[in-house]
Amino acid sequence: MTEAIVTDLDAVRLLATAHQDAFDVMRYMLQLDDDLSDEAIDNLVERIAEPVIKAIDCTQCGNCCRSLHVYLTESDAVRLAEALGKSTDAIVDTYIDQESAQAEGEWGRFAQRPCALLKGNLCSIYAHRPNTCRAYPQFTPDFRWLLPDIIEGASLCPIIYNVLVRLLPLVDEGIEKHI
């Protein structure tokens, strides 16, 4: 029986915290299993994630926009400038913290959390949002090596939590059977 999809943010936070040890064990099991190819794991995760992603409307949540640092590229800044009818320099001055981001090896990141462009639960520039936002949550490629960051996001993102909780029993019973 497939578990019901959990979207309530309080429930996701509590359940992800309760599953933390199991998620960590799963991470170790996947990272230590040299017999499994990254491609095979990625394919399985994509099969698990697809119906979850289809069932959850990210635009109804916006929790990632409230909670995460959003890293930007220069092309993201140009796209934001076009969307907002401002110069790229004005976008950098108004919205982007380059100093902190560059200390982390990134071009820039939004200076404010929650994101200044979030209106309610919706991105006010959704069609022009940064690539980081477009890709979130990112499971593949290289799921097994992204897993520490993915697990960290399980308490704030219903999609991540629901994918991980569906993967747990498959790893427990022997993931090879499902690949």
- Whether 1 is covered by a domain: the verdict is no
> In the structure encoding, which two tokens stand for residue 28, read together?
């170790």
- Whether 2 is covered by a domain: the verdict is no
Domain count of the fold of the chain? 2
Per-residue pLDDT tens digits for 2-11: 689 999 999 9
Per-residue pLDDT tens digits for 81-101: 999 999 999 999 999 999 999
- Whether 4 is covered by a domain: the verdict is no
pTM (two decimals): 0.91
What one-character DSSP code corresponds to residue 4?
P
Domain with 24 in it: 9-63+137-178
Q: What is the C-alpha separation between 163 and 41, in angstroms, rounded?
A: 13
- Please classify residue 108 by burial: count the beta carbons closer than 10 Å to its beta carbon, then call 0-12 exposed, 13-18 middle and 19+ buried: buried
Do residues 156 and 122 both lie within one domain? no
**How large is the average pLDDT for residues 108-120?**
95
- Whether 42 is covered by a domain: the verdict is yes
Per-residue pLDDT tens digits for 140-160: 999 999 999 999 999 999 999
- Whether 74 is covered by a domain: the verdict is yes
Do residues 123 and 158 both lie within one domain? no
Q: What is the mean pLDDT of the chain?
A: 94
β-partners of residue 96 are 110
Which pLDDT value is given to residue 47? 96
